[in-house]
Amino acid sequence: MDINAQDSIQNLIQISLYEFELELNTMNLNYEKQFKSYEYANGNVTIGFYLLDDELLKLELNVETLDEIIYRFSTEMIV
């Protein structure tokens, strides 16, 4: 994977997590996995998310660039 693809993937992760955080207070979070999708000019991101406990949200990002590079990223977020 070249540096431009890495930059594109990083950008998609950052912008989708930012938008996800903005919407977080309007979501009904629970222990069952839910999905939120975002479409951008340089690719798409689908975030699967569910509560691990009362304060911790598990996020599983599936990032796809316009060049059809697929990258999966997992993290946790305090809610």
For each of the chain's 79 residues, which pLDDT tens digit applies? 788 889 999 999 999 999 999 999 999 999 999 999 999 999 999 999 999 999 999 999 999 999 899 999 999 999 9
pLDDT at 40: 97
Instruction: State whether the Cα torsion 7-41-43-67 is positive or negative.
Output: negative
The pLDDT assigned to 10 comes to 96
Q: What is the pLDDT at residue 1?
A: 73
The per-residue pLDDT for 41 is 95
Q: What is the pLDDT of residue 2?
A: 86
Which one-letter amino acid corresponds to residue 54? D
Q: Order of strands, edge to edge, in the sheet holding 56-65?
A: 34-40, 43-51, 56-65, 70-78
